Amino acid sequence: MPKRCFSLLVALTWVAMTITEAFTIPLPGGRSISLDEGGILRIQLGDASTLPTAPPSGTLAQPSTLESIQVRDTGTIKSFGAFCTQPLVKETFLGFYEGKLINIKSSSSEDISELVKTTDYVMSLDGGATFMEGFERAQDRDIFSPVHLNHADKASAGCNCLRVLSSQGGQVAFFIARDVNIGEELCFDYGENYWKGREIQKI
């Protein structure tokens, strides 16, 4: 990142820390800096204009989309995964990540303990305070959900899905990142933070 842009981000971050009301400031190149109602500061360094827009909260994937995806055993260490039974085109909405909402600040010790036990199915919604724990939903393999998606490195051909944080907060939407053919497994990049401390397990 150019030094001038970095300095601008630092300045905007300082401004954000002195303001208590939610806001969004657009930056050049589709970037932005925002503060949500929960006090979470977000800095979008990538060009958000190239990403699909998350639909309104509560929107479901089309029945035809769900019928085009089968959850089955991968036959590998990954256990179960989601596979295309019919072609899916780029930017097809796959649904929101499903599970139990857990806020670290207000959750019981039992909820926190459960969160630690089922980290394979935990999705961060705001970088560390709020999580969606999808273990229980993942056990239902009759109907596809984004909780069934396995990992593939972003730079690899196997990474054919992407996630987008809803502007309304509290939800993560999943989309097809490129046209996908019959028989392909649907995967997205879990991100570097997921693999910290478990690099030896990376698949």
In tens, the pLDDT along 83-95 reads 999 999 999 999 9
- Residues 73-123 pLDDT 10s: 999 988 999 999 999 999 999 999 999 888 877 766 676 666 555 577 888
d(CA 197, CA 203): 14
d(CA 60, CA 90): 17
Which domains are assigned to the chain? 8-49 (no CATH), 63-201 (2.170.270.10)
* Mean pLDDT for the stretch of residues 18-34: 57
Residue 156 has what pLDDT? 93
d(CA 133, CA 115): 7
Between 67 and 131, the more confident residue is: 67
d(CA 95, CA 161): 12
d(CA 48, CA 34): 13
| Entry pTM | 0.75
**pLDDT tier at 39, thresholds 50, 70, 90:** low
Which stretch of DSSP H or E encloses residue 24? strand 23-26
